[in-house]
Amino acid sequence: MQGTPTHLHRIAREIMTRLGAFEGSRPLLDDIDALIVRGMSRGEDWDMENLQSFLEDVLEDVGVKTVPIDSEEGLKLLEEMGEFVAERIQASYAESEPLAPVVGPDEVERAVAEGAIVIDPLGVKGMMKTLRDMGCEVGVAIGETKDDIGVFLAAWGDRSGVGPKSVELVVANLAMVRGESSDEA
């Protein structure tokens, strides 16, 4: 059923399976309206030279309309998903660690110094730069389904194609952000 936790899990499973990263993957956040999954893949059929296009194709194959992450629409979607997932993480950890949404690098340093868990919904570019500096090929794809499920997919691996590839996936029910009920189908 669309807009339900089962629907989020189905999308995540399809994507992780297509990437060969489902087995052994684990959720970092498994909330009723948001799911973050991390996994590893042997990625023997991955096109490392065109990783960005490869990831976009995977999302399109499971019904996600992708948008360029650097476009106005892509940045808006990334921010919308980041803020929503940060709220869901905040709710999950409300009784343990304090969470601090951050805006810039100075705030990250301050928050870390104060012992806060840092949420940087727009830290994608920094992550990509760091991984590329370490010799990894990095791909990031973002989009949404026709029923307001936002999907963010990041994957990286050694430029040579040798060794495992890392996958991080965020699936979020954006109907909750946009004021629609998750019970609507």
pLDDT averaged over 10-residue windows placed end to end, the chain, 185 residues: 70 95 89 90 84 95 94 89 82 60 57 55 74 91 94 92 89 82 45
DSSP state of 10: H
Within-domain flag for 15? yes
Give the type of residue at 138.
Answer: V
Is the pTM of the predicted complex or chain greater than 0.85?
A: no
Q: Which domain range does residue 46 map to?
A: 5-70+123-173
Within-domain flag for 27? yes
Collapsed DSSP state (helix, strand, coil) of residue 70? coil
Domain count, the chain: 1
In 3D, which of 99, 74, 75, 69 has the Cα closest to residue 87? 99
Within-domain flag for 105? no
